[in-house]
Amino acid sequence: MSLSNLCVLALALVACFFVVADAKLKEGDCEVCIKFTQKFYDTLSSDERSDSKVIETKFKDVCSKAKKRENRFCYYVGGTEDAATGILGEISKPLSFGKPVEKICENLKKKDAQICDLRYEKQIDLKTVDLKKLRVRDLKKILNDWDEECRGCAEKSDFIARIEQLKPKHTEL
């Protein structure tokens, strides 16, 4: 083997290492996948947990009642009627073998990364939260939830000032 072939092989191995390392879940990754699938798994009886077909059927039933982020997760894995994909077997079979939910979601991330991009909306308590510690995205969300705008806001401090200005109007009982 020539030196150039060895270099190419070494680079390929390094690239493979980074791809495999990136597939590991980080803190907060796959939040909806892990919580929803674990909650679903906890509702199954011991007999149901060992049958992948029963798991799929029950999963579709649960998905038919899911809302918001959980419904979107169901759509991505094929648990809803209008789903374009069908990777439900990637959940039901490993669950029937007793594979941990975190590992199942890690494998789903390899199939479709957007599954792990789903996050639950943070509930912000405006009475106790320090607005300066929130991200601009969260400040914009507060204003959006109130159906308010912040025209001319360019800096975080502008959003904070606008929220403080509107707070009495929107936090009254």
What is the tens place of the pLDDT at every residue in 2-58? 666 655 566 666 555 554 444 566 777 889 999 999 999 999 999 999 999 999 999
Query: How is residue 96 written in tokens?
Result: 């029937």
What is the spatial distance between Cα 136 and Cα 155, in angstroms, rounded to a whole number?
A: 8
Contact 103, 109 (CB under 8 A): no
pTM score > 0.75 for this model?
no
What is the spatial distance between Cα 58 and Cα 78, in angstroms, rounded to a whole number?
A: 13
Contact 58, 48 (CB under 8 A): yes
Q: Contacts by 69-74 with C-beta closer than 8 Å and gap 24+?
A: 69/32, 69/118, 69/119, 69/120, 69/121, 70/32, 70/36, 72/32, 72/118, 73/32, 73/33, 73/36, 73/115, 73/118
pLDDT of 15 reads 57
Query: How is residue 112 written in tokens?
Result: 């479709």
- As separate numbers, helices (DSSP H) first and strands (DSSP E) second, the chain gives 9, 0
What is the tens place of the pLDDT at every residue in 149-164? 999 999 999 999 999 9
